[in-house]
């Protein structure tokens, strides 16, 4: 009988903790801002390969290609490669952010973000 009680306790504790554990893993991939690579001369999005994923100060590659940060929450829209950018900043934002990983065709941010890319910043789970 004690084995059944032990199993019941373990199952009960697991059932109670499951929602909080899954919420942490879902929220852990979300970031506040998403960076795409931009040609600063044309203000158009280019392939992420043109930017340095380790450029924490965003000093750019060759003075042309810079990370451009856009808010990534609430279904934000990201331009496709070749489209002009707007509504973001070249300044590295506070909070959490990810460089790269946005589909080349652009689009709206799905719940949980695009995934991929390089995650940085002071927050996260």
Classified as helix, coil or strand, 34 is strand
Does this model's pTM top 0.85? My answer is no
Over residues 62-90, the pLDDT tens digits come to: 989 999 999 987 678 899 999 999 999 99
The whole-angstrom separation of Cα 84 and Cα 104 is 13
The CB density around residue 88, as the number of other CB atoms within 10 Å, is 20
Average pLDDT, integer, range 14-24: 41
Of 106 and 121, the structure prediction assigns the larger pLDDT to 106
The whole-angstrom separation of Cα 52 and Cα 64 is 12
> Tokens in use for 21?
């554990």
Over residues 21-41, the pLDDT tens digits come to: 333 333 456 889 999 999 999
Over residues 85-114, the pLDDT tens digits come to: 999 999 999 889 999 989 999 988 665 555
């Amino acid at each position: 009988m004690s084995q059944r009680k032990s199993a019941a306790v373990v199952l009960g504790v697991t059932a109670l903790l499951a929602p909080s554990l899954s919420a942490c893993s879902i929220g852990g991939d979300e970031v506040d801002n998403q960076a795409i690579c931009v040609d600063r001369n044309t203000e158009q999005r280019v392939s992420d390969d043109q930017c340095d994923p380790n450029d924490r100060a965003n000093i750019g590659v060759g003075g042309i290609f810079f990370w451009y940060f856009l808010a990534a929450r609430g279904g934000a829209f990201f331009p496709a490669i070749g489209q002009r950018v707007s509504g973001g900043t070249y300044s590295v934002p506070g909070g959490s952010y990810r460089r790269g990983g946005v589909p080349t065709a652009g689009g709206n941010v799905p719940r949980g973000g695009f995934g991929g890319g390089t995650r940085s910043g002071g927050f996260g789970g």
